[in-house]
Amino acid sequence: MEKIIVQAVTKKERKYNNQTIWGVKVGEDAEGNDVWYNLYTNIKPSKGQGFTVEVTESTGNDGRIFRDARIAQGTQAAPTSAPLRKDEFASSNGNKSPVVNGGRATPYTQSFEVYAAVARAAHALATELEPDNGSGGINAHARTALVSTFLIALGEGKLTMTVEDEWNVPGETGRAAVPGARVKQAKNAAHDHLASVLNDAAALMKTDAIALLRKYGPDPDISDVVYLTEKEAINTRLTIEKFIDENTDWRADLSVRIKAYCLLKKMDFTKERTDILLAVAGTRDFKTIDQATAKKAIETLKEKYRG
């Protein structure tokens, strides 16, 4: 048996095996990570409410911790005192107080990760609201103004980053997880890089990029890279790159690419190949090139393709 006090609760319930589940934050672990439980109850819990529960804990293949909490038989949830939100403060005559903590919605100090998350979300919204127009007009200044407005609001405590919105962030140990609860992320460079590597690997293995994402990513049911967090996207890319390295004959690939480059530039392969090899690999002797050198030479050759 374990007694818990609800510090935060998800906005919506989840349905799993015909049971109703609410995500509830019950505290933090030793490293400062939020600890969330999957609380099985048909009635939405309230912040500050106490429960006596039986907890079953398990660890997924990706290291995430799953904590299922079921209310112990014969016990009832008991309301427990908890800090009131700004809109819950009221005077003796029932009027709500207009000022709490200086009217701030958030603490004075936020981590860089919070600012980065707000910046990415704000940029995605700004791109949607202020796209470049078809006549060549660029609305970069308008987008910058919108992003700046959000960041200033966060710094002044006028923008709330609610924990309910962060529940089930994939790949973070200590958070509750319910099947199918992944959240679409604002696309960033990590997603683009992963997508590029997936396409290369799919061509190499003659398979589908999404199939590779499901095989090497943290979730076998995922359908797009944007459902990965930035950390997950990076880790998945590194895993796939390692697989590619171990299963690619980079020397043979370099030879094929040099032939293709000569064909593209209408050059005589038999006459020009050694000069091209010298330019991209630093030697005219193909026999002296190892796999690592061949891989780097391919990247150099790709730059020439783009030029």
Same domain for 99 and 9: yes
- The CATH number for 28's domain is 2.40.50
Per residue in 256-273, pLDDT (tens digit) is 888 888 888 888 888 888
- pLDDT for res 160: 59
Q: How many domains would you assign to the chain?
A: 4
> What is the token pair recorded at 202?
């799919």
Q: Secondary structure of the chain: what % helix, strand, coil (to 5)?
A: 45, 15, 40
Same domain for 301 and 196: no
Same domain for 45 and 15: yes
Residue with more model confidence, 282 or 184:
282
Q: How confident is the model at residue 96 (pLDDT cuts 50, 70, 90)?
A: very low
Same domain for 230 and 259: no
- pLDDT for res 161: 53
Per residue in 56-69, pLDDT (tens digit) is 887 766 677 778 89
Neighbours of 137 (CB within 10 A): 8
Same domain for 122 and 87: no
Per residue in 109-126, pLDDT (tens digit) is 666 777 777 888 888 778
Residue 235 has pLDDT above 50, yes or no: yes
Structural contact between residues 236 and 213, judged by C-beta atoms closer than 8 angstroms: yes
Type of residue at 140 = A
Parallel, antiparallel or unpaired: strands 65-71 and 49-59: antiparallel
Range of 141's domain?
112-159
Same domain for 293 and 171: no
- pLDDT for res 110: 65
Dist CA 39 CA 55 (whole Å): 9
Question: Which residues lie below 8 Å from residue 271, measured CB to CB, with a gap of 6+?
Answer: none
Same domain for 174 and 292: no
Q: What is the average pLDDT across 24-53?
A: 84
Same domain for 291 and 145: no
Same domain for 2 and 94: yes
Answer with the one of 221, 247, 273 that is the final residue of a domain. 247
Ranking 172-176, 215-219, 244-248, 293-297 by mean pLDDT, the lowest is 172-176
- pLDDT for res 182: 65
Q: pLDDT over 90 for what percent of the chain?
A: 2
Same domain for 176 and 77: yes
**pTM of structure:** 0.35
Same domain for 262 and 122: no
- pLDDT for res 80: 40
Answer with the one of 217, 247, 277 that is the final residue of a domain. 247
Residue 92 has pLDDT above 70, yes or no: no
Same domain for 175 and 94: yes
Question: Nearest Cα to 167, choosing from 54, 37, 31?
Answer: 37
